[in-house]
Structure 1
């Protein structure tokens, strides 16, 4: 069924706004409708041939962004604030339905499904991450005050072949395909939706990326028994935060991710529901919780030692996304931030 432009806009706007500021958990019928209608399609193919849909989605996403003070996104938010952030996009049942639809479209029409945040953002994330990893490999970045290049660099890709990469919430796995094209070779994608993994495997087999491994795994209760030098998250933390138990699940997320990151490894998070400062603040909250586990130091020497207990530190962020003023704050529709595992 092809929707008219008016109907398409009507179906797109509500789910996208709910992704940003969702107020209630949707029924199974609502999730089914959303799974059919909510997506940002790309040059890889679309279930609808209306190119205006991508522009409409981007506009709705932009208008729905609500930049809050970093403290509002701390993991210790009160219950009422957490309820306000609840959305159907935080439920596994939504994603199971969505990827069953995507898988059916792939098998029938060869469509790859949605590109999370669109191809422009994915391209920026890929080139920026590649440059960051090369700089780290060459020793150009040794601590959190280092500045990574945000533009692609012409370097031998042998620097990247040794990086082990994990993409959590991989969806259709196209991010890993793009990383493979850039020279990364040890690639693993996980998702808690079996339909997503089936789709990612099917696409990888079709496109000749048999080197990419895909596993059904929930990042909050991960069964992975290895660590990775690079962990990618494009929208997963956003979805976790929209679950009715979002504050608790976000705490579980940081605990799990920090254990999956090898020492000296990098976590790259791309979010449309958090600004760079909000993500940094959430990591600081996580660090404080971990430090509190240790006995309170009694001497200056102990205090210096205590600083080493912070698991994650801010490394860099993408500065090329367009910004705008909203509610007295300057922010971007999308933020990509890198953290270092100490």
Structure 2
């Protein structure tokens, strides 16, 4: 996924919503100009993977039934830091549709072939560097057995020391876009790297860039997190904006529930999920995970549950591990927030 262009720190428009949905992401169903579409396409990526034997129609129906029956669970898209009722128009956008991203990445691919442009860095280079350094440190701490609820901030270590820990981590980047995140992870010692995207144009671009830059070790696959064909689990799953974009689909609440079910199957036990969002705060992401955990516990208590589901009574799928504390913050409505949130969850 490519980069968001943030407003200046002192911009009053930037403070209109604590979880920073950003005006360009709430375009409704209006048709964007070519320039707007190009910028937004460099800013988002909704792509990925899901592991289920159910067909799409059945999984969609199951998710819809869970939403309608679980009155005590708020849909993910209802979480908001500064208003009681969600704005329905702001909850959906063309940015949640695959057709949008297919067209956007065709433009990006043509730009690369004609001019060698890679597209913008997702969320900007500063955020990418922070996420990579922080995630690397987190993985090293986990490898060394230092698993706590509050792992320390990123620490700079020699690459030679990192390699022995990081080379064994299998990494999946869902909604990989141009794949530059995986290239940077490779530079920092990770070697088992896979990127997926439901846009074929994005995967063509990512492969072209990796080939040009000498990263033949990175695997890129066309795959959708809600309909994944992947048959393996990963120790580290990275998401930078994919969950946000899924929430902008007209069926966002249902699809987000399907997303969590998918990720829980793709992430290996004791694996780490790192989500970077510009549309949800750390607390909102934690609440969404808690709702998913509660839903799975409730399912495990129903009659005729299998053994795997029964284990979730005492061990819900995810628990909060840590979050990035170094992003710039601002005050709004008496609360302190950031335009970007990066949160790590551990798979139980």
Relative to the length of structure 2, the TM-score reads 0.76
Q: In structure 1, the residue corresponding to 2:119 is in which secondary structure?
A: coil
Decide whether aligned partners of structure 1 residues 66 and 240 sit closer, same or farther in structure 2, where only a CA change above 3 A counts.
Answer: farther
Contact kept in structure 2, 1:25 and 1:86, CA below 8 Å: no
Give the aligned length.
342
Deviations 1:31-66 (A, max 9, x none): 689659999999999999999999999999999999
Higher deviation after alignment, 87-96 or 121-130: 87-96
Q: CA deviation at 1:94?
A: 1.1
Q: CA deviation at 1:157?
A: 1.6
Q: Aligned match of 1:294 in 297, 300, 313?
A: 300
Deviations 1:212-231 (A, max 9, x none): 00000000111100000000
Q: CA deviation at 1:155?
A: 3.1
Distance across 1 between alignment mates of 2:202 and 2:101: 8
1:311 is aligned to 317
Higher deviation after alignment, 297-306 or 193-202: 297-306
Decide whether aligned partners of structure 1 residues 269 and 120 sit closer, same or farther in structure 2, where only a CA change above 3 A counts.
Answer: same
Higher deviation after alignment, 319-328 or 203-212: 319-328
Deviations 1:275-303 (A, max 9, x none): 00000000001001100012279999999
Higher deviation after alignment, 327-336 or 31-40: 31-40
| Correspondences of 1:150-165 after superposition (within 5 Å) | 155-165=161-171
Specify which structure has the higher proportion of helix.
Answer: 1
C-alpha RMSD over aligned residues: 11.3
Distance across 1 between alignment mates of 2:52 and 2:5: 12
Contact kept in structure 1, 2:46 and 2:198, CA below 8 Å: no
Higher deviation after alignment, 296-305 or 90-99: 296-305
Q: CA deviation at 1:190?
A: 0.1
Deviations 1:59-110 (A, max 9, x none): 9999999999999329999997454311111111111111111101100111
Bigger RCO (CA 8 Å, 6+ sep): 2
Q: In structure 1, the residue corresponding to 2:226 is in which secondary structure?
A: helix
Q: CA deviation at 1:162?
A: 0.4
Deviations 1:162-196 (A, max 9, x none): 00000000000000000000000000000000000
Higher deviation after alignment, 56-65 or 143-152: 56-65
Decide whether aligned partners of structure 1 residues 228 and 83 sit closer, same or farther in structure 2, where only a CA change above 3 A counts.
Answer: same
Higher deviation after alignment, 87-96 or 29-38: 29-38
Q: CA deviation at 1:15?
A: 11
| Correspondences of 1:205-224 after superposition (within 5 Å) | 205-224=211-230
Which structure 1 residue ranges, 5 or more long, are not aligned?
none
Distance across 1 between alignment mates of 2:230 and 2:59: 38
